[in-house]
Each structure stands twice: as structure tokens, then as C-alpha cells.
Amino acid sequence: MRWGDMDAYGHINNVEVLRILEEARVHAFGPPAGTGLPGVEVAQPIFSDLPENTQALVVEHRVKYLSPLNYRNIAAVVEVWVSAIKGASFTVAYAIFDPVTEKKCVIAETVLAFFHEPSGTLVRLDDAKKTQLETLQGPKNFKP
């Protein structure tokens, strides 16, 4: 958490929570191919091994705030897993915990799809990508 992530009440601002989710997703599954420089390798590079001209796009976010996530000068704890796999999309689920009290503050889901930029079409998940995603599956429901 960063000092500038706070709102006027000392809580992490709701927009910054989405940024925390994005960072957690990239830390867990790797950055999109062709972006940034090499860093820490991830066990399941969901995004970095996509075919050329294929993008991972956010389709939808769902966020439920269970308790204020207060600013602390240490990182929040974020759990990340895949909660659903469909023909052309998959859902990443998250839980954000206060790093001191361990209280669950936020639960969220992001639906993602792969998009072939030159043709402007969605890319269906092939068997290899589905298998890769299945190894990351956890609970399938959006519950506190």
C-alpha cells in the first residue's frame, strides 16, 4: 500500500483497490507478453505465454468491500485463484486481507478474455490453456 492510495478517511481508495487487484494478478500469473522487462518468474505464466498479437483484456470487475482496508506502511495480503473457466473467458478471484489484523477486507472477481487484436475477435481457450487454468482453480463462488 502506498501513502497516496488513501482517501480522506484513511482507507485505501476504491480505485486503488482495483490497482492492487491488477498487481496481484500480474504477480501471480505474469505480465502480458511484450510489456515491461524480465523480473521474477511465475509458476503459471497465464499472460506472458500468449500467441503474438493476443491480448488479455478485462471484461468485468466485481468488488465487495467487507471492511475498510486502512493504510499501513506494509503490503496487504492478497490471495488469488481462478474461480471459473468458460469457452472464451475465465474468472480470477481475490481476497484482500489487512496485513496486521488478518481481517478479510475485500473480495473481488475479474473476468478476462483473450483478444486477437488484428482480427478484432475473441480467442477461445484451447485445451492447453484450460488445463493450465484448472491447476489454479479454487472456490467457485463470490462469497465473504
Q: Which of 10-24, 25-39, 123-137 has the largest mean confidence?
A: 123-137
Other CB atoms within 10 A of residue 125 CB: 19
For the cut 70, the answer to whether the pLDDT of residue 50 exceeds it is: yes
Residue 144 in domain: no
Domain count, the chain: 1
Residue 30 Ramachandran class (φ > 0 left, ψ -120 to 50 alpha, else beta): left
In a domain? residue 141: no
Q: Write out the residue range of the structural domain in which residue 76 sits.
A: 3-134
Within-domain flag for 140: no
Question: Looking at residue 61, which CATH number applies to its domain?
Answer: 3.10.129.10
Neighbours of 32 (CB within 10 A): 16
* Cα 26 from chain centre: 7
Q: Give the global pTM.
A: 0.86
